[in-house]
Amino acid sequence: DAVYDRNRAISERFNLTLDYMGRPGLWATEAEYKGLITNTVLAGDSTFDIITGQSNIVLPLATENIYLDLADAKYIDYSKPYWKDGYHDNATINGHLYSVSGDYALTTLTETNVILFHAGLFNDYDIEYPYQLVRDGKWTLDEFYKIVKAGTNVNSTEYNPGGSDIYGIVTHNQFMGALMAGAGEKFLAVDDAGYPRALEITDRFYDVAQKITNITADKNQYVDRIVQTLKTPSTDSTTEFMMGTFLFNAETLGHIYKLRSFEDNFGVLPMPKYDEAQESYISMMATWGVLLTTVPKTNTDPERTGTILDYLAYQSYISLMEPYYDAFLTQKGARNEDSANMLSIIRDTRDVNLGYLFSWSNSMEEPIREKLMRGSTEIASIVAKYQSKVQTAIDKTMDKIEENE
């Protein structure tokens, strides 16, 4: 109903019809996207006013000179709350912004990494809910590890979810990236001049890695949905969490909808900080599920499109985002006022992994995540091998963008 009301308001306001062509689809390959988008634009085809797709596929195509620069797009006011989703400030490079994401695209919220905990098991083990730790700024990797270690109780020799054993956390290796980001560790940052720069890997980075592997080195404390759960029918960690024998589950926020039939209570938490001195929590958006919107260079009236996009985001904010957030997430999803408060923190601390979206740091991040997932801190050789390649990849992209100006 909310989507219908929003679309009707836009159609009436601008005397238009919202026509959606769902090709090639959410799970399209990079080649499929590139073929459709690039060929359409290069052919001068103005069929599409906007193009929306998976962030890690759409964004690298900025080097193909097929998108309009939206940094100073007329009639899009990025200061408004319906554009404040953690994306624009982090995705503007050298003054250029080739894609946008506002409240019309729920994925910047639903594809944000969170931690769920089993309230019933916490009660059984007399473990205090971490809500106050979060509010006091004391929800850290060390506190997370303490709870996982205290609550894990496994006697079986083989993985046996749904039995009498209690495991720590069930998730997947993208959680390693979410934990690193939550602890304030990034592989690159945009400097004062707006140019992306590879960051030096410091001792703090390795200390964060050690804190993560304190959890993952014990395969009863950390259960990976792919590596360890192949004997079960599902590789969905939320499904396994519903078996009732896991203290925690880490997934993107949208997976909460799967828990509506969950008989026990659960809570929602942001990623833990490195330590109490860290300024704020950081809630990383998934590197592949977030949908971004671009405006192709073949658009015949970009000012009109900017006006409509801004109104689309505004109408979503007042008629779609708030009902979704209030009715689905805070009431039917999180089930209690404390988790609703946690969701507000998560919503306000969203961030994006720009290095991964542009494929600048993938070569270094992926093997590091794999090592951490398997409980190993032997990552120095990976850093030594790939760190310089991150800046090389950045420079290659930036040179191509500058050539297109």
SS3 labels along 121-190: HHHHCCCCCCHHHHHCCCCEHHHHHHHHHHHCECCCCCCCCCCCCEEEEEECCHHHHHHHHHCCCCCEEE
Question: Does residue 20 have a pLDDT over 80?
Answer: no
Rounded to whole angstroms, how far apart are CA atoms 227 and 334?
Answer: 29
Proportion of the chain above pLDDT 90, given as a percent: 54
CA 30 to chain CA centroid, nearest Å: 19
Rounded to whole angstroms, how far apart are CA atoms 345 and 340?
Answer: 9
Q: What is the mean pLDDT of residues 297-307?
A: 94
Least confidently predicted of 199-203, 299-303, 328-332, 390-394: 328-332
Q: What is the pLDDT of residue 226?
A: 67
Q: What is the reported pTM?
A: 0.90
Question: Does residue 234 have a pLDDT over 60?
Answer: no
Smallest CA-to-CA distance from 215 within 167, 161, 276 is with: 167
Please list, in sequence order, all residues whose beta carbon lies within 8 angstroms of the beta carbon of residue 246, skipping any fewer than 6 positions away: 118, 121, 161, 166, 167, 168, 169, 170, 223, 240
Q: What is the pLDDT of residue 273?
A: 98
pLDDT-derived band at 323, boundaries 50, 70, 90: confident
Smallest CA-to-CA distance from 371 within 387, 358, 388, 383 is with: 383
Question: Does residue 233 have a pLDDT over 50?
Answer: no
Nearest 5°: CA angle at 182, between 176 and 184?
A: 110
Task: Look over the chain and give the mean of its residue pLDDT values, rounded to a whole number.
Answer: 88
User: What is the DSSP pairing of strand 350-351 with strand 283-284?
Assistant: parallel
DSSP secondary structure of 385-403:
HHHHHHHHHHHHHHHHHHH
158-180 burial by CB neighbour count: b if 16+ within 10 A, else e?
A: ebebeeebbbbbbbbbbbbbbbb
Q: Which two tokens stand for residue 349?
A: 């601390």
Question: Does residue 135 have a pLDDT over 90?
Answer: yes
Question: Does residue 230 have a pLDDT over 50?
Answer: no
Q: What is the mean pLDDT of residues 36-44?
A: 86
Smallest CA-to-CA distance from 186 within 392, 370, 356, 328 is with: 356
Question: Does residue 342 have a pLDDT over 70?
Answer: yes
Question: Does residue 201 have a pLDDT over 60?
Answer: yes
* Max CA pair span of the chain: 66
Q: pLDDT tens, 344-376?
A: 899 889 988 989 888 899 999 999 999 999 999
Long-range pairs, 240-243, Cβ under 8 A, ≥24 = 240/161, 240/170, 241/116, 241/118, 241/170, 243/161, 243/162
Q: What is the pLDDT of residue 304?
A: 94
pLDDT higher at 71 or 322: 71
pLDDT higher at 31 or 280: 280
Is-cis flag, bond preceding 24, omega within 30? yes
Q: pLDDT tens, 78-125?
A: 889 888 766 787 788 888 999 998 888 888 888 999 999 999 999 999
